[in-house]
Structure 1
Amino acid sequence: MIYGIGTDICDVRRIAASLSRRGERFAEKVLGPHEIEVFRSRLAKVEARGISYLATRFSAKEAFSKAIGMGMRMPMTWRHCEVIKAPSGKPEIRLHGALAEWFDARGLQAHVSVTDETDYAASFVVVETKEPRP
């Protein structure tokens, strides 16, 4: 059963401006431990790829926070929610700390889709209750 749905669109230029103003501190506020490594690697190779990566993660976390009905308030935090890539390339939500405990206690699972173009990043998240096992 669907628990919640969230979507978000993000202007990549706005993310680039925040990164320019605040430096890597902005990325460190938004990204979890695995994500920050990927961000730094992509940014070092091609700056635009790093910025797009940051924008898609920002967008996905906003969409996830809407799908769980919390917005950005505890236990939902930027760094406790990561969007990782499965071996197949499919994006997946990985949660940490109190957010993971809250999510698991409700028997929820999340599905995420992210996309980006030159100027925009968009995300769609569906959170559902896990089916009871027979």
Structure 2
Amino acid sequence: MIYGIGTDICDVRRIRESLARHGDRFADKILSEGEFATWKARSARWPERGVRYLATRFSAKEAFSKAIGLGMRMPMTWKLCEVRNGPSGKPAIVLQGALKDWFDARHLSAHISVTDETDYAASFCVVEAAPTSLEEISR
């Protein structure tokens, strides 16, 4: 059963400007420790790729926060929500701490899609709730 749907579009130029203004502090606010390491590596090789990486993570976390209905308020925080790519490149939401506890207590699962072009990054997230009783299964 669908619990929530969220979408977000992010202007990559805005992310670039925030990085220019605030440097690594801006990325550190948005990214988990693992994401930050990936961002640094991508930025070192090709700065524009790093900006787009940051924009897709920003967008994905916004879409996820909308799908769970919390927006950016506790237990939803930037750092407790991570977007990882599997071996095939498929993105997945990985949660930590209080956000993971909140999410797991509701028997939720998330599906995320991210994309980027020159000026925009976009994400779409579907959160599902597992049926918790035979009555819900039979619906």
TM-score w.r.t. the length of structure 1 is: 0.97
Comparing 55-64 with 124-133, greater Cα deviation is found at 124-133
Q: Report matched runs for 1:77-96 at 5 Å.
A: 77-96=77-96
Q: Report matched runs for 1:68-79 at 5 Å.
A: 68-79=68-79
Q: Which amino acid aligns with 1:28?
A: D
Name 2:57's counterpart in structure 1.
57
Q: CA shift at 1:131, angstroms?
A: 4.8
Name 1:16's counterpart in structure 2.
16
Name 1:4's counterpart in structure 2.
4
TM-score w.r.t. the length of structure 2 is: 0.94
Name 2:120's counterpart in structure 1.
120
Distance 1:31 1:133 in 2: 37
Structure 2: gaps of 5 or more residues:
135-139
Q: Which amino acid aligns with 1:23?
A: G
Distance 1:41 1:104 in 2: 32
- Counterpart of 1:3 in 2: which secondary structure? strand
Q: CA shift at 1:130, angstroms?
A: 2.6
Distance 1:54 1:127 in 2: 22
Distance 1:133 1:4 in 2: 19
Percent identity between the aligned chains? 67
- Counterpart of 2:56 in 1: which secondary structure? helix
Q: Does 1:46 align with 2:46?
A: yes
Q: Which amino acid aligns with 2:18?
A: S
Matched residue count: 134
Runs ≥4 in structure 1, deviation > 3 angstroms? 131-134
Distance 2:72 2:132 in 1: 29
Distance 1:6 1:24 in 2: 27
Distance 1:4 1:120 in 2: 23
Name 1:25's counterpart in structure 2.
25
- Counterpart of 1:77 in 2: which secondary structure? coil
Which has the higher Rg, Structure 1 or Structure 2? 2
Distance 2:88 2:102 in 1: 27
